[in-house]
């Protein structure tokens, strides 16, 4: 939310800051029903709007936040607990921090043989491979060895020698009919740049299935929203600069958003900042100060595309985003004007800053 390389950090804040406690109104007004003057001229009882329900728990190295509107507190608490239970279940599938996760066990199986995997894992890897092909490898989930090297480097605050084996997304072969996968060579799969988005989508699907229409799910920098809260035009989302200052806010609904950058996950050696984002072409961490925020129809797409565009050179990324249907993006470089795809929603500026609008071809 990366071959956005996720590092477990319970203090990892929201990259595209959505402070639900601040931005979503705390008090809900009442709709006054008209008095029936024809019958005893007594005022009817007012009917309250659905109340905002908010739940959060630490999972996936960040904070999982769920907000929705309902007047049934007991029902709301049960639904929230069901959602957090699903997060734990999916973590046991996707986490490369767990030796017992499905993806870790897959990477320990014999290579050059097809292995059947769960639908959740297959769907995420299939989407990752599609984006890898579209971006010519800027998004690559096979860099797990390099990711682990970065984590060790971050702990020591020194970039360690990387002698990891060369791998590529092309070393993964999928067989949709049998829902199986073949690894051409030994490798480690890192789903940090796509799995949190997928999990956010699954939680939102759960909420929709039980009739909740106005909801927000936020997992780190990955977020998805449905209909606007009562009496609101949408959900207010803050967009951050690499300096962690707010560039502005968006008001959105029925869409997903993700930010990939170096504002929180990095270590410095000398005057060089080494982000958690690994460039597949070099096997090295990105060192430029840049936040990329994407908007897409699903959190999984927004998550993976934010990473892919952050890894690519900015000119190529801006061109690719403008040419890709259903993807909008903003590129915010430290100390420079923000750049936007032509369809990116207009920001409500908090700090005046010049910006460049890129034409869509």
* Average pLDDT for 322-351: 90
Q: What are phi and psi of 218, to 5 degrees?
A: -130, 125
Identify the band that residue 101 occupies on the pLDDT scale cut at 50, 70 and 90. Answer: very high
Whether the per-residue pLDDT at 242 is higher than 60: the answer is yes
Looking at residue 106, what is its pLDDT?
98
Which pLDDT score is estimated for 134?
96
pLDDT on residue 353: 44
Angle between the 119-134 and 195-209 helix axes, to the nearest 10 degrees?
A: 130
267: alpha, beta or left? (left if phi > 0; alpha if psi -120 to 50): beta
Does the pLDDT at position 4 exceed 60?
no
- pLDDT of amino acid 20: 42
Q: Which H helix or E strand runs over 200?
A: helix 195-209
Residue-wise pLDDT for 107-154, tens only, equals: 999 999 999 999 999 999 999 999 999 999 999 999 988 888 777 777
- Based on its alpha-carbon atoms, the radius of gyration of the chain, rounded to whole angstroms, reads 22
Structure-block tokens of residue 343: 């369809």
Among all chains, which residue has been given the structure tokens 């910006």? 355
Mean pLDDT of the chain: 83
Task: Give the residue-averaged pLDDT of 151-172.
Answer: 81
**Coil, strand or helix: which one is 354?**
coil
Domains of the chain in start order, with CATH, are: 20-25+51-94+194-357 (3.10.520.10)
What pLDDT, in 10s, does the model give residues 52-93? 999 999 999 999 999 999 999 999 999 999 999 999 999 999
For residues 83-108, give the mean pLDDT.
97
Q: Which of 18-27, 37-46, 316-325, 339-348 shows the lowest mean pLDDT across its residues? A: 18-27
Lowest mean pLDDT among 164-173, 260-269, 308-317: 260-269
Query: Who has greater pLDDT, 264 or 14?
Result: 264
Residue-wise DSSP of 260-326: E-SSSSEEEETTEEEES-EETTTTEE--S-EEEEEEESSHHHHHHHHHHHHHS-HHHHHHHHHHSTT
DSSP 224: E
């Amino acid at each position: 939310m990366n071959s956005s390389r996720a590092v477990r950090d319970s203090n990892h804040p929201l990259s595209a800051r959505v402070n639900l406690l601040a931005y979503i109104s705390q008090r809900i007004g009442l709709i006054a029903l008209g008095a029936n003057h024809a019958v005893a001229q007594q005022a009817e009882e007012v009917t309250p709007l659905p109340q905002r329900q908010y739940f959060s728990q630490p999972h996936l190295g960040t904070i999982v936040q769920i907000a929705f509107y309902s007047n049934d507190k007991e029902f709301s608490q049960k639904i929230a607990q069901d959602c957090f239970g699903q997060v734990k279940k999916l973590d046991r599938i996707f986490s490369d921090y767990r030796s017992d996760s499905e993806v870790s066990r897959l990477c320990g199986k014999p290579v050059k043989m097809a292995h059947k995997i769960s639908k959740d894992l297959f769907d995420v890897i299939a989407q990752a491979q599609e984006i890898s092909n579209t971006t010519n490898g800027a998004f690559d989930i096979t860099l797990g060895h390099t990711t682990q090297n970065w984590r060790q480097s971050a702990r020591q605050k020194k970039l360690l020698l990387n002698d990891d084996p060369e791998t590529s997304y092309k070393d993964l072969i999928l067989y949709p009919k049998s829902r199986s996968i073949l690894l051409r060579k030994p490798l480690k799969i890192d789903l940090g740049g796509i799995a949190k988005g997928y999990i956010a989508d699954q939680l939102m699907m759960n909420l929709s299935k039980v009739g909740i229409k106005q909801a927000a799910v936020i997992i780190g920098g990955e977020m998805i929203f449905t209909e606007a809260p009562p009496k609101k035009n949408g959900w207010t989302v803050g967009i951050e600069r690499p300096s962690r200052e707010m560039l502005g806010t968006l008001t959105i609904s029925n869409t997903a958003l993700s930010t990939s950058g170096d504002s929180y996950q990095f270590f410095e050696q000398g005057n060089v900042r080494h982000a958690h984002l690994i460039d597949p072409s070099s096997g090295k961490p990105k060192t430029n100060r840049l936040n990329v925020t994407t908007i897409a129809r699903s959190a999984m797409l927004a998550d993976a595309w934010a990473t892919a565009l952050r890894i690519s050179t900015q000119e190529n990324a801006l061109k690719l985003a403008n040419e890709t249907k259903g993807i909008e993006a903003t590129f915010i470089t430290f100390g420079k004007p923000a750049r936007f795809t032509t369809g990116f929603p207009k920001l409500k500026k908090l700090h005046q800053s010049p910006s460049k609008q890129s034409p869509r071809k």
